[in-house]
């Protein structure tokens, strides 16, 4: 009969999981259990601390609804989501525009718009233009690429956070033109506090973090033969540009609005100009959507 101690428990667990049929699941769980155990040993976790952790992840799971994904928020605020994005970019056979967080506010079935349209029902006084080109990494235009955009309104809220979260606003799908060009109207996005009324908010407060994301616009861009690009543009000036609570902002994705851009298709409007470059798809490429529709995740969970 074996004797289990704080060292032999790890091999006992790995041994029992060694019959896993799927080799990739086996590999991931082995690495996960080794690091989980190493964490507990290194922190010398007490039963009370363990219980506090169980209570915390239970609360995170119970806070998830069809309109809210608290576990993605936790992953985002621990830097895990951005890390997975960086690993995704590293596996690419070409270096295109960097991936950034899909975040918890992505939704499927956003409405279709034409180039030049405004994606918000009420652009108010903060209307801006966004234009640019979708190209390959050599700068060759990719015609008719699909572009999905979502962002906060000029109150700093996503539609999912509104009184009727089933309504869609400030999100939409476009297609680039034959030369890869796109131009759309929207409002200047606002930086905002991530939702802090759940268990992740308790963590952020205990860590004395400010909880803000810098202003940004999400993009999901796809074209046949290219890697799907999930990214965001971060709009300066923003005092939290270098301390994004979910670590999405990075130098190459920071943009400014200009009113003196003579190439802008929106004369007079503050305009963001950004050209996206897509890497060629490889056979082994997987989706870059670090995040997903909360309702879909809940549906998968049951």
When the beta carbons of 51 and 93 are compared against its own copies, the nearer one is 51
| Minimum distance of its own copies from residue 184's CB (angstroms) | 25
| Minimum distance of its own copies from residue 78's CB (angstroms) | 6
Instruction: Reduce the DSSP state of residue 194 to 3 states and report it.
Output: coil
Residue 111 to residue 130: CA distance in whole angstroms: 18
Q: Which pairing describes strands 127-136 and 271-273: parallel, antiparallel, or unpaired?
A: parallel
When the beta carbons of 184 and 194 are compared against its own copies, the nearer one is 194
64 counts as binding its own copies under rule CB under 8 A: yes
| Minimum distance of its own copies from residue 104's CB (angstroms) | 10
Strand partners, 256: 236
Instruction: Print the binding letters for residues 100-139 with its own copies: x by CB under 8 A, - otherwise.
Output: ----------------------------------------
175 counts as binding its own copies under rule CB under 8 A: no
229 counts as binding its own copies under rule CB under 8 A: no
| Minimum distance of its own copies from residue 267's CB (angstroms) | 29
Rg of the chain (C-alpha set): 22
First CA to last CA distance, the chain: 39
Residue 194 to residue 74: CA distance in whole angstroms: 11
- Closest listed residue to residue 244, CA positions, set 219, 288, 209: 209
Torsion of CA 112, 100, 67, 154, to 10 degrees: -70
283 counts as binding its own copies under rule CB under 8 A: no
Q: Which of 108, 163, 252, 262 binds its own copies (CB under 8 A)?
A: 252
When the beta carbons of 137 and 254 are compared against its own copies, the nearer one is 254
């Amino acid at each position: 009969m074996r004797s289990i101690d704080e060292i032999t428990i790890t091999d006992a667990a790995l041994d029992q999981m060694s019959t896993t049929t799927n080799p990739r699941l086996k590999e991931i769980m082995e690495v996960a259990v080794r690091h989980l155990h190493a964490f507990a040993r290194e922190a010398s976790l007490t039963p009370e601390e363990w219980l506090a952790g169980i209570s915390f992840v239970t609360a995170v799971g119970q806070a998830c609804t069809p309109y809210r994904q608290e576990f993605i928020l936790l992953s985002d605020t621990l830097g895990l989501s951005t890390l997975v994005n960086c690993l995704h970019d590293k596996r690419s056979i070409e270096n295109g525009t960097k991936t950034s967080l899909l975040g918890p506010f992505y939704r499927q079935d956003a409405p279709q718009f034409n180039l030049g349209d405004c994606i918000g029902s009420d652009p108010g006084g903060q209307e801006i233009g966004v234009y640019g080109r979708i190209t390959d990494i050599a700068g060759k235009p990719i015609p008719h690429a699909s572009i999905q955009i979502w962002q906060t309104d000029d109150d700093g809220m996503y539609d999912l956070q509104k009184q009727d979260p089933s309504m869609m606003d400030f999100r939409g799908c476009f297609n680039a033109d034959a030369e890869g060009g796109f131009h759309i109207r929207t409002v200047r996005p606002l930086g905002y506090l991530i939702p802090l009324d759940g268990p992740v908010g308790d963590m952020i407060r205990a860590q004395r973090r400010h909880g803000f994301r810098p202003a940004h616009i999400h993009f999901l861009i796809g074209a046949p033969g290219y890697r799907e690009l999930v990214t965001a543009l971060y709009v300066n000036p923003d005092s939290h540009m270098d301390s994004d609570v979910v670590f999405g902002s990075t130098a190459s994705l920071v943009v400014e609005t200009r009113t003196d851009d003579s190439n802008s298709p929106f004369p007079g409007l503050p305009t963001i100009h950004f050209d996206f470059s897509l890497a060629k798809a490889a056979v082994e490429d997987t989706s870059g959507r670090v995040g997903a529709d909360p309702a879909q995740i809940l549906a998968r969970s049951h």
